[in-house]
Amino acid sequence: MEKLEAELASLRTRAAALDSRHSAAEAAHDDAKAKLQRHHLDADLDADDKARAKLETAVAACAVTRDGYANALVEVQAKITDAEQKLAAERATVERKAASEKLASDLDAVERALPDYLAAGKRFADALEKLHFHHESGAMVRFICNTATQVEVAAGFALVELRGMVVAVREALRLSRQPSRSPLRSRLLSRRRRRK
């Protein structure tokens, strides 16, 4: 990326120099043209062919110089645009890579924490189950066990889907805004709705 940034800075410096010289050549052309016009208005048109030819040559030379700088400036501007696009693409690649690595790291943390969460829920449910004579304690045990099962199943789907997103982010693939519905996931959701 540093090479592209250096190339872009060099091209911008070159464009500024060409623009400055083009402006000076434009002014010289306008001045030469004005002198030729004054000659046409004030000089003896029949007797002063040598001076007129000299002024016309100066106008033509100034036009060639001006147009040369203009053409070079157009080419340098095209190179600047190309370098800017390459630099933007390279920056986007670096940003996507960083985002995909962060997502992968976050997923690793979730995968490490999930077994601890499920084990803690089981320990808590086991402790509550010892209070079987209390109705609310039994309800909490059922709730904790159901929730742990749902979290475990949902995590199985979500983590696989999110792992796929790591590659999609890195490769700049278009991510769907809606979660995909796998057949198993759809069946689980429809069962849950029927129970309600």
Digit-coded pLDDT (tens) for 134-168: 788 888 988 999 999 999 999 988 888 888 888 88
Enter the tokens of residue 156.
């199985």
Query: Rounded CA gap, 105 and 99, in Å?
Result: 10
Please give the pLDDT value at position 86. 92
Say what percent of the chain tops pLDDT 70.
88
Overall average pLDDT of the 68-79 stretch: 96
pLDDT surpasses 80 at 88:
yes
| Residue 15 contacts residue 83 (beta carbons within 8 Å) | no
pLDDT surpasses 90 at 64:
yes
Please give the pLDDT value at position 191. 56
Q: For 161-190, give one letter per residue: b (16+ CB within 10 A) or e.
A: ebeebbebbbeeeeeeeeeeeeeebeeeee
Please give the pLDDT value at position 17. 96
Overall average pLDDT of the 21-39 stretch: 95
Higher pLDDT, 191 or 71: 71
> 132: helix, coil or strand?
coil
pLDDT band at 185 (very low <50, low <70, confident <90, very high): low
Overall average pLDDT of the 68-87 stretch: 95
Q: Closest by alpha carbon to 103, among 185, 182, 168, 154?
A: 168
> 133: helix, coil or strand?
coil
Please give the pLDDT value at position 177. 45
Out of 57-66, 88-97, 113-122, 164-173, which region has the weakest mean confidence (pLDDT)? 164-173
Token pair 């007797």: residue: 47
Please give the pLDDT value at position 130. 84
Residues 6+ apart with CB under 8 A from 18: 69, 72, 73, 76
Q: Closest by alpha carbon to 180, among 153, 152, 160?
A: 160
pLDDT surpasses 90 at 132:
no
Query: Rounded CA gap, 186 and 193, in Å?
Result: 11
Amino acid at 26: E
